[in-house]
Every structure is written in C-alpha cells, then in structure tokens.
Structure 1
Amino acid sequence: MDKSPNSGPEDPSSSSSRKPGGFSLFKRNLTARLLLLPSNSIGALWILQAAFLFTIMSTFIKLVGEDVGVFQILMVRQFIMVLIVAPKIIKGLPNSLATKRPDLQAARVFFATTAMLCGFTAIIHLPLADVTALSFSKTFFLTIFAIFFLGETVGLHRWGATIVGFLGVLVMLRPEGSGIIDPYAALAILGSASAGIVMVILRILTRTDSPTTILTYQAVFVGLIMIGPAIYTWQTPNLEQWGYMVLIGVVSWAAQMANIKAFRAGEATAIASLDYTRLLYATIIGALVFNQWPSVDNLIGAAIIIGASMYTIRREAVRGRELARAADGRGYNN
C-alpha cells in the first residue's frame, strides 16, 4: 500500500515515546525479577544495603569528625533528615504530633541522643571495625532491658548466649599493656546500652503511637537539643566539611529506610544476622581509607559477640518467636 503524500519517514522520537528506553526497560525487568523472590530474600537484599549505608555513614562521620565537633555533626544530620521527611510530617499534622505517651517520647529522645553522641564520638576516635564490633553488644543489653521493661521470659540458652556475648565485649575492652580501659571504647558500650533502651521503648511506643509520630519527635527534638552545644562549640566548616555533613544526613535517612523495608519484607529471625556484614564493610573501609586494622583481641571479641548473637537469633527462630528488635532501632541511627 502506498503511503500518503503527506506522510514522511517515521519520527524516531515518536517510536521512543511508545517504547521504554534502555534504562527504563532494565529497571522494569529488574523490579519484576525482584518481585518473584521470596520475601526473606528481598529482606536480605535490603538489610545488606542498609548495613553498607550505615558503614558509609560512619565513614563520613569519621572523616569530618577530625575537624568538626560531634554536636555540629549531629545537629546538621538531624535537620537534613527533618527536611527530607518534612512533607510527610506536615501532611500528617496535627496527628504527626499527637502522642499518647509523651513520657516515653521524651525518654526515647534522651536515650537516642545519648546513643548517637556516644556512638559518633567513638566512631571518630576508634578504628571503624572496632567501634562497629562494640556496637553489636546492644543485642545483649536488649535482652536485659526486655526482661525488666517488657516482662519477657528468658530461658537458660538465651542467658548463656548473653553472658558469652558480654565476655566478648570484655575481650575487646581489655587494655593493651595498661590497666586503663580506653574511654572511647567505654563510650561505644554506653552508646550500645542506650540504643538497647531505645529499642525497648520503640516496642512500647508502637502500641499507641504511629511511626510518623515517633519519627517526628526523634528527628525534631534531637536536632533542637543539639543547637545550644553546637553553637557553643561552633567551628566554621569549609565546603568539603559541609558536604560530608549533608551526606551524613542523606545517607542516614537512606540507611534507615532500607532497614525498615528489610524488616517489613522479611522475618527478623531470618535476616537479622546479615547485619553483621557491617563488620566486614568496616574492616575493608577502615583499612583502605584510614589505614586502620582491627587488633587480634578485637577480632576474637567480635567473633564471640557475633557467634553468641547468631545463636540467639537461631534459637528464637527455632522457637518460632519474634526477635525483640525494632526495624528502625538499630545502631546509632535512632
């Protein structure tokens, strides 16, 4: 059939508008393949991404913390995160500020601030792998706090794993050639204990308050608390340092979202152990970026902590119980 006189060669742009481009097609095919995976596999991919992002966050904190105070870092981080979630907070007003437990909200803000101040300070002054391994001790603090505040019954096996885990912490805290414990290692432990309390508080708060409300109180009030100390210790950052602090906020938000999606997609008892890949990431980045390698004692202590934690996770899975672990209560991202 002859073409009409007015018809010319086909416009390539019109064809491309009807067919997805190369990247769009790849993205669509990848999404379709991921949706076919079991839920625990999807959760595992998310938690691996979260672990990597948390390690990148720690790397940026360590880089900028050499010249900028921890109060400034934390203040900027919180306000960047508030800016990112502001549309959701504003859309949810006034419900995003309505809480039935203001006492627990205040307690969460206090302990989250303590966890982050202690954790960030330890990150700045300790090798990245060491502070990462020490942060895993929060699992054992969580066990103790869950007994007292949640009324959980802990059997002999879990108590044994908890005691073994604390022995691993003691191995890591063992002074090298002196009788003095590294104060920054002690801060890392204090930060982990505070994070454990936050995780327990989160479990109670989620019974009465929405996730948006919990996020709003934490993001806003921790930032407000940091304003005074940050101004008092202010050191004017250069452009590179501003860039690092902004990235800390963005990466922190992305890591938390990946962590939440991981525990929404998969079972906690099936994917939680993958969190320990952070130690691998931290060891590699610490060696390549900071030329810092973990000591033999710290590697042994980390192995004990991880082994005891994985035993606890496995034990909970066998018993068919939900692991006492909040999706957004991990690490120093509270």
Structure 2
Amino acid sequence: MFILAAFTRLPVPVQATLLMSAAMVFFTSMGVFIRLSSQNLHVLEVVFFRNFLAVLLMVPWIMGHGVSALKTDKYGLYGLRAAINLTAMAAGFAAITMIPLAEATALGFTAPLFATIGAVLVLGEVIRVRRVAALAAGFLGMLLVLRPGLESLSLGALLALGNALGISITALVVKKLTATERPEAIVLWMVLLQSPFSLIPALFVWTWPDPMTWLWLFCLAGAGTAGHVCWTRACGLAEITQLQPLEFIKLPLIGVMGFLLFGEEPTVWIWLGGAVIFCSTAYISHREAVLARRSARERKNGG
C-alpha cells in the first residue's frame, strides 16, 4: 500500500513512463514463456491457455469489484478488439516458435508504421514530407531485418509482421476504450471474449500439458495479464505516441534472454534494422505529439 500511495503521488507523465516500462518487461518475458510452453504443446493450445488462465487470475479482481464493474455499452468495440487481437496473438505466438526471439521483436516495432499508414488510408489523415521520410526509413529497417533476396522470407517473419499489423489496430481501439472504461475491465473483457473463440481451434490439436508446461502457461498468463493492465493504464494517462518509444526496451531485453536461455545470437542486421525501425517510429511519434499540441493551441485560441 505504501508503494502504491507513493506511486500515485508521482507526476502523471512519470507514472505513465513507469507503467509502460513495466509493461514492456512483462511483454518481453511472454516471448520466453511462449517458447517454453510450445516445446511440449501446440501453439493453438498455448493461445487458449494464455486467455483462459488470465480469466482465472483475474477472479479476485471480479470478486472485489463485483460483476457490475464489467457493465458497459461498448460491446461492439470490445468484440472488434478481441477478434483482431486474437488473430494477432495467434500469429505472434506462432512466429515466436519459428524465428529467433530478437527477430520477432524487431519486426514487432513496425506496428506504429502500420498505424500511421492506417490513419492515412482509413481516417484520411494528412502526412507531410518528414513523416513520409520517417515511414520510408522504418520500412528500410524492416528490410534490413528481413534481407529479402539474400535470405528466404520465412513464414515466421510474415506472421510477426501480421502480429504487428493487428497490434497497431488494437492500440487505436484500446485508446478509444480508455476514455470511459476501467483498465482492468478492458483486459478482462479481452480474455473473456478470446477464451471461447481460441478454444475451438485448440480442440483439434488438444493434448494435456505436463506439470512443467503448466508452470510456463501460468507464468505466460500472469505476465500477459500484468503487461496488459500496465499498458492499458499507461495509455489512459498519456498519448500512445508519447509512450511508443519505450517499446525499444524489448529488443535488448529479449536479446539477452534469447542468448542466455536458448543460445540465440542476434545478427548485426537485427540490431541495425531494429534501431532504424525504432528511430523512425520514435520520430513519427514525436511529430504526432507536436502536431496534436499545435492543434490544441489553435482550437483554444480560436475558441
């Protein structure tokens, strides 16, 4: 309680930064637990247990706040988020079993690039030369990681990109939900909806986990739930564009974990490409924040 009270007294930007940093640590450790769980279990089952066990882990929260805490009128947004997130989750989990953890993480940094393109195509947002150049640099970084023509483009890499695309869309949906919904409710609705849908394909490849796999599955669910709660709270305190650069924490973390646990040595191309992608997305985030502040000042002055 003392730590929580001290945390709430911190400036809001500091709270958001700490929460986002914690989320990145939890999300990074998920990659390790996915790899360990999938050694003896089909990845479709791992996806199901990640969601189902998360529901069990959140039962104390439900008991403490009551079912009424889940009351909402945003069923459409929750359903959309669950459908897209579940597809992205399955793609991301599968990618982690096929390619090095650092490569999957580096490709995951392309999510903000996809989000920017989506804003242009779907929302009609106008982007200028500097952001176009940043986008081009980001995709150059992606090519450095993939090196098409020099190495065959693997299914795992394509799945990692599909995961990034899905995450970019769900981030926009979550930001919309945080305006009216509690962070814990957003996470709980996600796993409540995703559990039954992920069970259907898992039944076709079903085998019961052994005791050690159960441990990894509970660690996976716990890390995923804690990560989503921290991430959702952070999104409610600050703009996604301000928090996104902190995602680069994942690359050195997963590089160390992959080397120590699985003997994976990230190539120089993964580090270089990941850094280029990060710098481009960080610049895009900075430009969006600057433009948002400028627009707010103009509305204020105009009013």
Q: Same fold (TM over 0.5)?
A: yes
Q: Deviations over 1:223-246 (max 9, x none)?
A: 111212212111222100011101
Residues 272-283 of structure 1 correspond to what in structure 2 (within 5 A)?
272-283=244-255
Q: Aligned partners of 2:274, 2:27: CA distance in 1, in Å?
A: 18
Please say if 1:234 is aligned against 2:189: no
1:149 to 110, 113, 122: 122
In structure 1, how many angstroms separate the alpha carbons of the residues matched to 2:5 and 2:181? Answer: 34
- Structure with greater helix share of residues: 2
Aligned equivalent of 2:265:
293
Alignment of 1:217-256 (within 5 A): 217-256=189-228
1:261 equivalent to 2:233? Answer yes
The structure that has the greater radius of gyration is: 1
TM-score after normalising by structure 1: 0.78
Deviations 1:7-63 (A, max 9, x none): xxxxxxxxxxxxxxxxxxxx73x5665455433223222222211111111111111
Question: Is 1:318–2:296 an aligned residue pair?
Answer: no
**Could you tell me the TM-score, scaled by structure 2's length?**
0.85
Structure 1, 220-229 or 303-312: larger mean CA deviation: 220-229
Q: CA deviation at 1:143?
A: 0.8
Sequence identity, in percent? 30
In the alignment, does 2:39 pair up with 1:49?
A: no
Map Cα deviations across residues 241-295 of structure 1 (whole Å, 9 max, x no partner): 0111011111111111222333344554544312211111011111111110111
Partner of 2:158: 186
Residue among 90, 105, 111 paired with 1:117 = 90
Match of 1:128 in 2: 101
- For these two proteins, the number of residue pairs brought into alignment is 293
| 2:73 match | 99
- Displacement of 1:101 in angstroms is 5.1
Pairwise CA distance, 1:107: 3.0
Alignment partners' CA distance in 1, 2:34 and 2:233? 24
Deviation at 1:97, TM superposition (A): 5.7
Moved more, 146-155 or 284-293: 146-155
In structure 1, list runs of 5 or more residues that go unmatched. 1-26, 323-334
Give the structure 1 partner of residue 299 of structure 2.
Answer: none
Verify the 8 A CA contact 1:41 1:266 in the aligned structure 2. Answer: no
Name the SS for the 2:58 alignment partner: helix
- Give the superposed CA RMSD: 2.8
CA–CA separation in structure 2 for the residues paired with 1:62 and 1:202 = 27
Amino acid at match of 2:250: R
